[in-house]
Amino acid sequence: MREEPLGEVSLRLLREVPVLESMRKHDPGGVAEILRIVENCAEFNRLHAEPKALEIDERVEMEPDYFDWDLARSACRYRLFSLVIPTVLGGLAGKYMLTAGALAFEELCSACAGIGNMIAATSLGASPMLTPGGMPHWDTVLHEMLEGEKKGEPVLMAYAITEPSAGTDVEEPHFLAHARLGMEARKVKGGYLLNGRKCFISGGKEARYLTVCAATDRNRPLETWTVFLVHRDMEGFSVPRVERKMGQRACHAAEVLFENVFVPDTNVMGYEGDGMSTGILMIMAASRGPVGAVGTGIARGVCRHFLAWARTRRNGSRPIDEPRIQMAVADMAASIQESRGLVLNHSLAGDAVFGKLLVNPLMKAIFALPREVRISRPYQSFLHSRHGKAMSARLLRMLVSEDDMTRLLALASLAKFACTDNAVAVASRALELMGTDGGEERRWVEKCYRDAKVTQIYEGTNQLNRLTYYEIEVGGGLRVELPSPR
Ligand SMILES: Cc1cc2nc3c(=O)[nH]c(=O)nc-3n(C[C@H](O)[C@H](O)[C@H](O)COP(=O)(O)OP(=O)(O)OC[C@H]3O[C@@H](n4cnc5c(N)ncnc54)[C@H](O)[C@@H]3O)c2cc1C
C-alpha cells in the first residue's frame, strides 16, 4: 500500500522530534496517528486560534466575563475535547495517548496557551472519570460530552480542588493531612450535601460538569478526601465570579460556590476517602507532564515571534545579524529541546503504563459490551455497588503498580516545573532583547510571558513540584497509593 505524503507539520515534527522517526520504523500506524492529531491542532491554530488570540486576550482584560463560545464550537470540529478520551470509548486517545496528547497541547499552546487551557481544562475535568473509579460515567457523562462535540455543542468540564484556604495543601498527602479546609461534604441519606467554595477553577464558569474533591470530615481531610461529580444545574451550585488574570485569559478561572448541593451516592467516584490517590496523585501523574508541554509550546511561540521580529529591518539593520541575537536563538532552541525531552520521558513512560489498560483482555471484554448493556440499570447498579467498586479497584491494581504510578508522578512533576520555568525564562529573555519596540511581535511575546507565568502556579506550584520530585526520587517520603478493594 502506498503511503500518504506527509504534510508540512508532520515533516517538521519528525525533524524536531527524532524519537518519532525511530518509533515510526516499528509502528508506522501508531506514529501516523500522532502526526494526524498534531496536524489537526496546527490547522485549528492557523484557522481559528491565531487570528483571535490577541483580540481575546485584550477583550477579557476589559470584559473579564467574556468567553469565546464560537472558538469552543470550532474546537469541536477538530475533536479537541476528545484528545484524552480513549478511542475505545469514542475519543482520539490511542495507544500513545500521553505522547499524542502532549504533542497536541504543545502545538495548541504554541499559538495561544489561553485557548490551549480552555481545551485542557475539559480534559483535566474528565480525567477522574477515566480512572476505573469513574467507570460508571464512561457511557453516560463521557458519552454526552462526545455527542455534544459531534454536534458542535461543547460539553465543557472542570476540575475543582483548590479552596480559598488551601491551594498547595490539597495537592500533597502530608500537607492535606494538616490543611484547614473551608469546604465539606456531609453524608446524608442517598448522597452528600456539599457546602463551601472552590476557587481559581479553570473553565469553572462554563463547565457543565465539575469533578470536585472535598473532605467528608474537615478534621480528617486526608482520610476523608473524596471525588464527586457535580452537574452545574444541581440546586445550590453557582459561580459568583471569575478572577482577573494576568495570563491565559481565554480560559476563565472561576470561583464556584456550593450551598447545600445534594450529590447522589452514584456521583461519588471510587470509594469515599480515596480522593488523594484517584482524585489528585493519579491525575497529577498523568496531567503535570502535559503542563510541561504547555510550557514547551509557549516557548516555541516566543521563539517564532522573536525570530519574526529579529528578521525585520529597522534603522537600516536586522537584529538577527547580531551575534547576541543569534546566541539567544540558539539558547531558546536548546531550552525547547530540553523541555520536549522531559515531556516525552514522561509521556512515553506513561503510555507504557496506561497502554496496558487498553490491551488487557478483561478491559477489552468490558469495552466490547454493547452500549445498551453498559447503560442498563443492572450493569450500572453493579458498577455503583460495593462489588463493582471492588472490581474496578482490583482491576487497577492488577494492571498498574504503585511503583509505576509513583515513578510517573516524579517524571510528571519534573517536566512540569522545568518546562514551565524554561518558558518563563525564554519569554523573559526575548522581551529584554526586543526592548521598547512596540510592534505586533512584541505584543505576542508579552502575552506569551504572561501566559507562561501562570503555568508556574497551577497543577501544583513549581515549588511543590520540586518537593514532589525530591520526595519521590531522593527523600523516599512520597508514594502513590492505589485504592484497595473493600
Ligand atoms: C491560572 C490558574 C488556573 C488554575 N486552575 C485550577 C483548576 O482548574 N482547578 C483547581 O482546583 N485549581 C486551579 N488553580 C489553583 C492552583 O492549583 C493553586 O493556585 C495552586 O495550587 C497554589 O495554591 P495557592 O494559590 O493557594 O497558593 P499557596 O498554596 O498559598 O502558596 C503560596 C506560595 O507558597 C508556596 N508554598 C505553599 N506551601 C508550601 C510548602 N509546604 N513548601 C514550600 N512552599 C510552599 C507555594 O509554592 C507558593 O509559592 C489555578 C490557578 C491558576 C493561577
Q: Give the contacts of 62 (CB within 8 A, at least 6 positions apart).
A: none
Contact 310, 323 (CB under 8 A): no
Domain ranges of the chain: 8-156, 158-275, 276-475
Q: What is the pLDDT of residue 439?
A: 87
Distance 249 CA to ligand 1 centre (A): 18
Q: Give the contacts of 46 (CB within 8 A, at least 6 positions apart).
A: none
Question: Tens digit of pLDDT per residue, the chain (486 long)?
Answer: 556 788 999 999 999 999 999 999 999 999 999 999 999 999 999 999 999 999 999 999 999 999 999 999 999 999 999 999 999 999 999 999 999 999 999 999 999 999 999 999 999 999 999 988 899 999 999 999 999 999 999 999 999 999 999 999 999 999 999 999 999 999 999 999 999 999 999 999 999 999 999 999 999 999 999 999 999 999 999 999 999 999 999 999 999 999 999 999 999 999 999 999 989 999 999 999 999 999 999 999 999 999 999 999 888 999 999 999 999 999 999 999 999 999 999 999 999 998 888 888 888 898 899 999 999 999 999 999 999 999 999 989 988 999 999 999 999 999 999 999 999 999 999 999 999 877 899 999 999 999 999 999 999 999 999 999 999 999 999 999 999 998
Find out whether the beta carbon of 458 lies less than 6 Å from any atom of ligand 1: yes
Query: What letter does residue 140 receive in the DSSP assignment?
Result: I
- Under CATH, which architecture does the 276-475 domain have? Up-down Bundle (1.20)
Cell 529541546 locates to 337
E runs forming strands in 216-274: 225-231, 237-242, 253-264, 268-269
Distance 167 CA to ligand 1 centre (A): 4
Distance 407 CA to ligand 1 centre (A): 23
Query: What letter does residue 267 receive in the DSSP assignment?
Result: G
Distance 460 CA to ligand 1 centre (A): 6
Q: What is the pLDDT of residue 331?
A: 98
Distance 243 CA to ligand 1 centre (A): 14
Distance 168 CA to ligand 1 centre (A): 5
The three cell numbers of residue 122 are: 475539559
Task: For ligand 1, atom 36, name the residue with the nearest CA.
Answer: 168
Find out whether the beta carbon of 245 lies less than 6 Å from any atom of ligand 1: yes
Contact 302, 434 (CB under 8 A): no
Helix, coil or strand: residue 156: coil
Distance 109 CA to ligand 1 centre (A): 21
Helix (H) or strand (E) holding 335: helix 323-359
Task: For ligand 1, atom 12, name the residue with the nearest CA.
Answer: 162
Find out whether the beta carbon of 287 lies less than 6 Å from any atom of ligand 1: no
User: Does domain 158-275 bear CATH number 3.30.465.10?
Assistant: no
Q: What is the pLDDT of residue 355?
A: 83
Atom of ligand 1 nearest to the CA of 203: 8
Pocket test for ligand 1, best of 109, 122, 461 (most atoms within 8 A of CB): 461
| Domain 8-156, CATH | 1.10.540.10
Contact 343, 417 (CB under 8 A): no
Q: Give the contacts of 189 (CB within 8 A, at least 6 positions apart).
A: none
Query: What letter does residue 86 receive in the DSSP assignment?
Result: B
pTM above 0.95, yes or no: yes
- Per-residue pLDDT of 318-365, as tens digits, reads 999 999 999 999 999 999 999 999 999 999 999 999 888 888 888 889
Q: What is the pLDDT of residue 367?
A: 87
Atom of ligand 1 nearest to the CA of 171: 21
Q: What is the pLDDT of residue 133?
A: 86
Half-sphere exposure of 322 (CA within 13 A, CB side): 13
Q: Give the contacts of 15 (CB within 8 A, at least 6 positions apart).
A: none
Q: Return phi, psi of residue 431, to 5°.
A: -60, -40
Distance 165 CA to ligand 1 centre (A): 10
The three cell numbers of residue 106 are: 504543545
Contact 412, 329 (CB under 8 A): no
User: Would you call 112 exposed, middle or buried from its count of C-beta atoms within 10 A (0-12, 13-18, 19+)?
Assistant: buried
In the chain, the amino acid numbered 343 is: V
Find out whether the beta carbon of 454 lies less than 6 Å from any atom of ligand 1: yes
